């Protein structure tokens, strides 16, 4: 009996150790997303990644800021129930080398949904500047 339990237990631990956590999945999703949008995928060099939970409240606040910037009606105000996590906010900086050898440093803000869908956001610093106008 012990001969059967030990291999099963070891395999279970190995598989659990190999499973990717939410941040690792978000990082891979953002890398794939950015890689398809740079000048040449082989010249994409990922830099730092920073992660934070993204809630429905965050989404509604973002939509309200975008509506204000674009002169559109604001979405409904967030409620306490809107604190449910709906994804991961990923701040990512990277380097991109163009085909003629020019190195470009860039960054982006992305939301990765639990299903792996990636959405790019307007950077917070740009939103703040546009809201001050």
Q: pLDDT tens-digit profile of 22-43?
A: 899 999 999 999 999 887 888 8
Domains of the chain by residue range: 20-132
Q: Is the pLDDT of residue 8 over 50?
A: no
Q: Which helix (H) or strand (E) holds 17?
A: helix 2-18
Q: Parallel, antiparallel, or unpaired: how do β-strands 85-97 and 103-112 relate?
A: antiparallel
The helix/strand/coil state of 129 is helix
Element (H, E) at 82: none
| pTM higher than 0.85 | no
pLDDT digits (tens, 9 = 90+) for 87-104: 999 999 999 988 888 898
């Amino acid at each position: 009996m012990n001969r059967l339990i030990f291999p099963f237990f070891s395999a279970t631990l190995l598989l659990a150790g190999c499973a990717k956590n939410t941040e690792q999945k978000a990082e891979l999703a953002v890398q794939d997303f950015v890689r398809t949008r740079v000048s040449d995928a082989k010249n994409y060099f990922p830099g730092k990644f920073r992660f934070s939970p993204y809630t429905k409240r965050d989404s509604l606040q973002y939509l309200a800021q975008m509506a204000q910037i674009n002169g559109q009606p604001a979405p409904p105000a967030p409620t306490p129930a809107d604190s449910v996590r709906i994804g991961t906010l990923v701040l990512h900086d990277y380097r991109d080398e163009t085909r003629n050898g020019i190195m470009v440093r860039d960054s982006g803000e992305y939301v990765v949904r639990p299903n792996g869908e990636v959405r790019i956001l307007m950077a917070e610093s740009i939103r703040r500047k546009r809201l001050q106008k």
